[in-house]
Each structure stands twice: as structure tokens, then as C-alpha cells.
Structure 1
Amino acid sequence: MAQIFGIDHKYFAVPAVALSVGISAYSVYRLYSQSARKCATRTPSNVYESEKLLGEYLVFHYGSPEQLIPYPFGPKDALDFPKRSSELCLKHYKAEDGIPSRALDVGCAVGRSSFELAREIQDVIGIDYSQSFVDAANRLKIDGQVPYSLVQEGDIVTPAVATVSKDINRNLVSFEQGDACNLRSSLGEFGIVLAANLICRLHHPKDFLSRLPKLLSKKGSILVITAPYTWLEEFTDKSLWLGGYIDQNGKAVTGFEGLQRELGSDFELVEDVNIPFFIRETARKNQWTVAHATVWRRK
């Protein structure tokens, strides 16, 4: 047995097929082909199907503070980002006549926010582009827990278990694979839509935003978008960026301004706040990022 962070674990090696991939992408939408731009033709990228990345998202969503930051220092206020995102939704949601008790978590990854929304919402749908993430979320729904590998250093990993809180009714949540730019037409209407760290990883972000007025058709319904605004041509053709560019008049256009332009006719901005989050890659290499969270109410 070996002692790691004060907890006894047995070392074992990551399978050779697992990819060594950083977690610089904060959602599971990836641009594949620079020539093929249609939403319906996308297929999941291998980078999002790796065992290593799955483990990084499981610990990001369900890891304990000791697993994520095993030191007496560190940005511990940045933990539990998926839970804090769902709490921001519920803070503004009001169960009024005509507003559905339904929530849509787009880019749900391995499902923590979806489960947390079910504390107050009667029907929650989580959609993600990665089939492996959806499979893990569905296993969490069925079993309440999923084992995974926590990378310590190189091929050295320790076993861990992601667990859904027992006071959450998992039967209220369902998960499916899908593309945010081409959501199925039969989804229906919602009282809440959450898109956490998604918008700057979509190949056609305006296609997603244009669908929101129908998904949130009832006045008072809530939309929450969080984003670090890390615009990259790897994910989105530069001509389709919502922000992060200099326009033809020499003006710097931000992602926030792009959201206001696209959403302003149908939604009222009711709050914007900076929310830090912490992603663990290894025992000693991590990412600290600040997402801009904007809360919108349907007019």
C-alpha cells in the first residue's frame, strides 16, 4: 500500500489506450472539420472520449475538496462549480403558473448540475455531445455512483468513486447525447435552461442561441449562461465568434456584448457575476479559471 494525501490507495496504471489530454476545453463540443460546417454532420472527437478526460470531469463534478486540492492552500472557493451553477438557476427560478417545472442542462458533461437541479425541478434533461459522458451520467442515475481513475502523476493513478447525493431523486433526471447547435425538435418547453461553459466551444453558437426563445417561451423562464470566453478557431470559425475580436470600426467586441446583442430582444439580463472554477488534471497540475455567469429572464 502507498500513502497519498493521507489516504491509503493502491496504485495502478492507466491503460495505454487512454489519451494524455489536457482539459483546456470546458465543454464537450469540438470542431472537427474546417470544411464541413453543418451541425448535423458532427461526430464526437476522440479527445472527449478518453478515459483520462472522463476521470477529470468526474472529479471536477463529484470530487471531494481533499481529492481536488490536497493542500492547506489553494482556491477552495472555486470548487463545486456545477453545483453552484445550478444554484444560480434556482435562485432566480420562480414556480409560477405557466412556467414549466422542467430544466434543460445543455453541455451537462457527467451530470452534476442536472442532478442538483432536480432538488427543486420535477423534470430535468441533460444533453451532452460526448457519448462517454452521457453513459457515465446514466450510470450515475441508475447506480448512484461510478468508479473512475484519478491521475496522480504520469501513469500512476488511484481509484475513486463519483457519487450522487442520496437526498436527490435521480429518477427526475434523464440524459441523452446531442448537439447544442441541432437540438431535437421534440424537447418541449422549459422553465430553466443552463449552458455552463459551453458557448465558446460551439461550432455555431448563434444556432444554439436562436433556439432558446422557443425552449423558454413562457415569460419569466430563466436562462443561465456561464463562459470563460476562450474563443478558439479550433472550436469555432473566427467569423462565427460572438466576441473576442476587433470589428471593422476598430472596436473591441467582447463575448458579453455578443450575448447581449443576440439575446436582448427576447431576454432581460437580471444578473451577471464572476464565478471561479477549478479543474484538476494531476496531483500537481490544475487550472483555475473565472467564468462570467449571466442570468436572463424571458420577456
Structure 2
Amino acid sequence: MASVTAFGIDHRYIVIPAMALSVGVACYSSYKLYSERNDRRHQNVYETKKLLSEYLVFHYGQPNEILKYDFGPKDALDFPKRCADLCLKHYKPKAGVPARAFDIGCAVGRSSFELARIFDDVVGLDYSQRFVDTCNQLKLDGLINYSIYDEGEITTDLTARVDKTIHRDRTRFIQGDACCLPADLGQFGVVLAANLICRLHHPFDFLWRMGDLVAPGGILVITSPYTWLAEYTERENLLGGYYNKDGQPVTGFMTLLKSLGPFFDLVDDINMPFFIRETARKNQWTVAHATVWKRKSN
């Protein structure tokens, strides 16, 4: 078992064992009060029709549905598919590496479905029950109707569709907390955490489980714009975006290297832009840092 203290601050540390211990009832109990408090803070956002429509067009929208202008960052479209493609680029099927994938923070499921082109079993997990219900409807029907906001109350009706060539029956979707994952998930050949770590209340607990969930020889892909916000993560739990006791800056990437290094090799890191449509004229352009890690042999 290896222990790493992050940058000299005793309360910022993570321990990643070669095979993590089972997570029991105590884990869930420890987050109960936090979840109840933060449900009130975030539920009105992540369970709203407006945010659901933004994620549906982000995941499944055609280029002309997301960006109606001849100009604009077209290379930032299709981010969930590009995340799945990055996983598939680095995953090499071989004996002992399960043909299973885990999409943590799956939102409305595009990456999960794309991974099902290759993997026999794909698990998508999200904290939002509304997102999970949407994934399950897409799995069942292959499509879902929704509306995007253009201006004020003016909307446009669209349909999100899963590619008919994808084996939707290979996917399953569950609601859960990425900081306290179920103990009976098993191991995976690929774990994807897209734009997740800077939205977690205890991100070190999430990283701690990766040594258990990713099979030796398997791939872990983490993307993040490193937007550390107090509304999601209390300062003492941040992975980066602060100065340590010596006045030196600590970035999220530095902490990932320090925390994952004992059991993972960094095999790639790239910048991945993404584009979120809010209205016809107001949108978000962001650049995520994508890091690809290969689980070391036991």
C-alpha cells in the first residue's frame, strides 16, 4: 500500500491501494448529511428541464442544431463522442483486461452508448436521477423528444437519437455518488470520468477507488477544465487551484500525477475543447484537459 501526501499539507492526501477495500454501509452514512444538504443546493439545477435540454443537445445535437452560424468553434462539438473515441484509441483488448467500460458522470449517456460499440458491458452512472431516467429511455426507445431554448420562452423541438448500429442492450445506467461508488461493480478495462472531478464534494475519495475499478492493463481517462468552485467542493478537499503552505501554486494536474502515479502510468494528455449551447446566442466554450492513464500490473 502506498501513501502520498499532497504538497506538504497533511489533510490533502490520498491512499490508492493495489486492490481497494470494499466500501460498506459506513461510506454511505458518511455522505448522507452532505447529500441532503447539497441536494437542496444542486437539485433544482441538475433536475430541471432546461439543463436536461442543454445536455441532450450537447450530447446528441447535430452541428446545425448546436451552432447555427458559419463561424464558431466547430472543433469543439461532439465532445462526449470524442471522449469515448479517446478511450477506444488507448484501450487494447488482451487477456485479463475485462471487456467492460464504466462511464462515471455519464449525464445523458452519449459516451456510454459510443463505448458499447466495442465493449460487452457498459455501466453509466450519474448523480442526477433525471439524467439516468433519460439514459434508460434512450436505451429502450433509441430516441427522445426534447426542446432547446432559443430566446426567452421561444423554443425549438428536437429529437435525440442513438445511432442504430450501436448495441444499446450492452448498456445499463444507475444513479449514484461518484465519491462513494457501489462496492460490487467489479473491474473494468476502461473507466471514463469526463468533466467530473471538479464537481465532486470529495474528489480524493473518487481517485482512491480508481486503483480498484481499473483492471491491470486497463485505461482511465479523466477530462476536466479544472474549474474548482466552492459550491461543489470545500476548499480543504480541492485537488488544485490553490497555493500550498509554501506559497507555491498547486494545480489539478499536479495532484493527479502525485495521486495516481503509484498505480498508473500517464500515457497521454491533450487539450479538448467543448461547446455547450445555452440559447441561440449565448453559449459556453471551454477547454478540458484530458489525461489518459494505464493501470500498472499488480
TM-score normalised over the length of structure 1: 0.86
Q: What SS does structure 2 have at the residue aligned with 1:221? A: strand
Which whole-Å CA distance do the structure 2 matches of 1:230 and 1:73 have between them?
A: 26
CA distance in 1, matches of 2:158, 2:135: 16
For 2:138, what is the secondary structure of its paired residue?
helix
Task: Tell me which residue corresponds to 1:197.
Answer: 195
Residue of structure 1 aligned with 2:218, choices 218, 221, 228: 221
- Post-superposition Cα deviations, 1:196-244, rounded to whole Å, max 9, x if no partner, equal 000000000000000011111x321000000000001110001110010
1:39 aligns with 2:31: yes
Tell whether the 8 Å contact from 1:39 to 1:204 is kept in structure 2 after alignment. no
Instruction: Specify the alignment match of 1:132 in structure 2.
Output: 130
Q: Which residue of 2 aligns with 1:242?
A: 239
Q: Distance in 2 between matches of 1:136 and 1:39?
A: 25
1:149 corresponding residue in structure 2: 147
Aligned counterpart in structure 2 of residue 178 of structure 1, from 176, 179, 184: 176
**Secondary structure of 2:231 counterpart:** coil
Match of 2:293 in 1: 296
Higher helix content, 1 or 2 = 2
Please state whether the residue corresponding to 1:181 is helix, strand or coil: coil
Q: Which residue of 1 aligns with 2:270?
A: 273
Q: Would the aligned equivalents of 1:117 and 1:124 in 2 still touch at CA under 8 Å? A: yes
User: What amino acid maps onto 2:31 in structure 1?
Assistant: C
TM-superposed deviation, 1:38: 3.7
Tell me the equivalent position of 1:30.
Answer: none
Distance 2:272 2:253 in 1: 14
Q: 1:14-93 alignment to 2 at 5 Å? A: 38-41=30-33, 42-43=35-36, 44=39, 45-93=43-91
Contact 1:40 1:182 in 2 (8 A): no
Match of 2:249 in 1: 252
Moved over 4 A (4+): none
The corresponding residue for 2:120 is: 122
Cα pair 1:193 1:224 within 8 Å, conserved: yes
- Contact kept in structure 2, 1:181 and 1:202, CA below 8 Å: yes
Superposed CA RMSD in Å reads 1.0
Q: Distance in 2 between matches of 1:165 and 1:40?
A: 38
Counting only pairs closer than 5 Å after superposition, residues 101-120 of structure 1 correspond to structure 2 as: 101-120=99-118
